Chain A
Amino acid sequence: MSTLLETSGLTAFYGDFQALYGVDTTLAEGETVAVIGANGAGKSTLMRSIAGSVRQAPEMIRLNGTPIGHLSADRVNGVGVTLVPEGRRLFPSLTVEENLLIGGWRSARSGPWTLEEVYRLFPVLKDRRGNPAMALSGGQQQMVAIGRALMSNPKVLLCDEISLGLAPVVIRDIYAAVPSILERGASLIIVEQNIEQALGIADRVYCLMEGRITLEGRPGEIDRAAMHDAYFGVQA
């Protein structure tokens, strides 16, 4: 499998505060990678850096070997990397369908995902297409957020805590969409606080703690005690 996306020595700052200290990750074509870590570990910062919301030195992030760290968010979207942001961030002035259509703003990137395909993936959205996005339940809003990102036909889909605040049965519905997304050619990076969820879905897992990768491996091969240490820090 060839490397699709790569971060190398990725650092990130909020003013004087350093949130990431040299993060190295890779994502292969067709792969699903999970990033886990406690609150404040820097998971969202990593996602936002890749998506271009936090600008970087060009070489810190590469897509198919091409440096993209310096690109603004709209251009990162244009080269095929789209973020489902933490907290969904739907547009309140727009209906469900308009939110989805905004995701396809760059019509230059054509691909398998159209309005019809998104409705096939999440049929409940079709019935609510004319509703204001904020009138939907949390789970349905999350489906809109994922569908909106898919409408850009991304090569890399970044999902930041798509299970946050949702009931287990709803989380299952949402994760049930992952195989279809992979089938249509996207590769995934999924940020999760729910470790079981992450281990269940991912080909590989990175554990992030205080801005550093503390553990990396395949779900079946990771030692639980090591994972505990990597997640919470080594117990004194």
Chain B
Amino acid sequence: MIWVDTVVQGILLGGLYALFAAGLSLVFGIMRVVNLAHGDLIVMAAYLILVLVTALNLSPLIALLLAAPLMFAVGWLLQQLVLNRTVGEDVLPPLLVTFGLSVVIQNALLEGFNADSRRIGAGSLEIASFSVGPITIGVMPALTFATAILVTLALQLIFYRTALGRAFRATSDDPDTASLMGIRPGNIFAVATGLGMVVATIAALYLGMRANFDPTIGPARLIYAFEAVIIGGMGSLWGTLIGGIVIGVAQTVGAAIDPEWQILSGHLAFLVILLVRPRGLFPAGGR
């Protein structure tokens, strides 16, 4: 029974990693570029929520509703002013620019908030739990997981059921022909990055409520997100959710064997899947 509990906790933890990854997956699916500053942008959003919660004395949920459109604007501007100048045949420029951005964001946060670790207070939610048979489930992990499913579902609906989603897919297929159809690829990319930042803000809320954060933890979140995207198969949104779950389960199972193994076993699961299925579990094209 202890193993069932371990796996269930792992699945729920996977929800958090899936949230870290969903925005990355969306943007990669449309632009075929990886934003190396994604983790730092999540941390930035967490500070934004923290400021709204403490300065305006708002509840975390209300703070999220304010922070999300602000982060959409950040993503939109970032894409229009900076990243659109780097997209093209060569994949190196966007990598270099977002790597630089990662460093800039970390230092700016250090400057603005110092290196102390912070937390977004969630009151009694932090320790609330309920029982399913013999298994005790934390309300916060359960909420995180439910949110991950809802976010994935919402992105999936936008992608496959709306005019915006059609434009996303058409622009991803062939930006030149899309522009012949009246679409401005740069605008579509900016909306995609903005949407990715909205998802990142949701991830930031859970990041900040569940654990301490400081300005330097972004790159580690990026690695989990990146692994989830690759395990799931680049460009597949449901695959990314599964990828997050794989890492979460590997971590809790590893930790059950030996607590020191938690982080490492997540990375090992990633490496094994990369060896067995280099294109991930659900590669795009075979959706």
B183 and A105 within 8 A (CB):
yes
B126 proximal to A (CB < 8 A)? no
Q: Tally inter-chain residue pairs, CB-CB below 8 A.
A: 66
| One of A85, A106, A152 near B177 (C-beta < 8 A) | A85
A106 to B169, CA, bound (A): 16
B173 and A74 within 8 A (CB):
no
| One of B166, B172, B176, B184 near A102 (C-beta < 8 A) | B166
Q: Which size bracket describes the interface of A in this complex?
A: 20 to 34
- Total B residues in contact with A, Cβ cutoff 8 Å: 17
A128 to chain B minimum Cβ distance, whole angstroms, is 17
Most chain A beta-carbon contacts within 10 A, residue among B173, B177, B184: B177
B183 and A94 within 8 A (CB):
no
A72 and B177 within 8 A (CB):
no
Give the B-binding residues of A (Cβ under 8 A): 51-53, 72-74, 77-78, 82-83, 85, 89, 91-94, 98, 101-103, 105-106, 148, 152
> Chain A residues with Cβ under 8 A from B202's Cβ?
none
B181 proximal to A (CB < 8 A)? yes
Contact with A along B143-186 (1 / 0, CB 8 A): 00000000000000000000100110110111011111111100
Known contacts A91-B169, A94-B166, A94-B169; A102 and B183 CB within 8 A of each other: yes
> Chain A residues with Cβ under 8 A from B174's Cβ?
89, 91
A72 and B173 within 8 A (CB):
no
Query: For chain B residues 197-237, which have a beta carbon within 8 Å of chain A?
Result: none
Known contacts A98-B166, A102-B167, A105-B163; A83 and B180 CB within 8 A of each other: yes
B173 and A105 within 8 A (CB):
no
User: What are 16 of the A-B contact pairs (CB < 8 Å)?
Assistant: A72-B179, A73-B179, A74-B181, A74-B184, A77-B179, A78-B182, A89-B174, A91-B169, A91-B173, A91-B174, A91-B178, A93-B172, A98-B169, A102-B170, A105-B163, A106-B182
Known contacts A72-B184, A102-B170, A105-B167; A91 and B179 CB within 8 A of each other: no
A53 and B179 within 8 A (CB):
yes
Q: Which 10 A-B pairs have the closest CB atoms?
A: A77-B182, A73-B179, A106-B182, A93-B169, A89-B177, A91-B173, A91-B170, A74-B184, A74-B179, A105-B182
A73 to B179, CA, bound (A): 6
A49 to chain B minimum Cβ distance, whole angstroms, is 13
Most chain B beta-carbon contacts within 10 A, residue among A51, A74, A78, A98: A74
A74 and B169 within 8 A (CB):
no
* Nearest opposing residue in chain A for B173, CB measure: A91
A94 and B170 within 8 A (CB):
yes
Known A74-B179, A77-B181, A94-B169; 19 more pairs at CB < 8 Å: A52-B179, A53-B176, A74-B182, A74-B183, A74-B184, A77-B182, A82-B181, A89-B174, A89-B180, A91-B174, A91-B178, A93-B169, A93-B173, A94-B173, A98-B169, A105-B163, A105-B167, A148-B181, A152-B181
Most chain B beta-carbon contacts within 10 A, residue among A78, A89, A94: A89
A169 to B176, CA, bound (A): 31
A91 and B180 within 8 A (CB):
no
> Chain A residues with Cβ under 8 A from B169's Cβ?
91, 93-94, 98
